[in-house]
Amino acid sequence: MQAKTLVATKHSRNRQTGFVVVLQELITTLYIGFLGLIFSSYFVYLAEKDSVADYGRTDFSSYADALWWGVVSAHLSARMALPDISEKFIIY
């Protein structure tokens, strides 16, 4: 009886350790993604801040505009990467 309790405790500890590792990987991935968004938006701002469009204004007048461009671009590219499942559920 004592051995079963010891094995169950050891198994629970391994499962908890696995959860902590997955959580750390998730936090690291989000952090790297956030840094990528910040740096790419900054580089786009540096490249595009002096360009003037046909209507006489700059598209990126501030860093906030470039950051918004980065958020929208990341969202749209992630949305386009998902498969379209609406075709699978056509009701006749």
Nearest to 58, CA basis, from 50, 69, 66: 50
Q: Which tens digit of pLDDT belongs to each residue from 54-88?
A: 777 777 888 898 899 888 888 877 666 666 666 66
The pTM of this model reads 0.61
Q: Which tens digit of pLDDT belongs to each residue from 20-46?
A: 888 999 999 999 999 999 999 999 899
The answer to whether the beta carbons of residues 64 and 38 sit under 8 Å apart is: no
Provide CB contacts within 8 A for 63, sequence distance 6+: 41, 42, 45
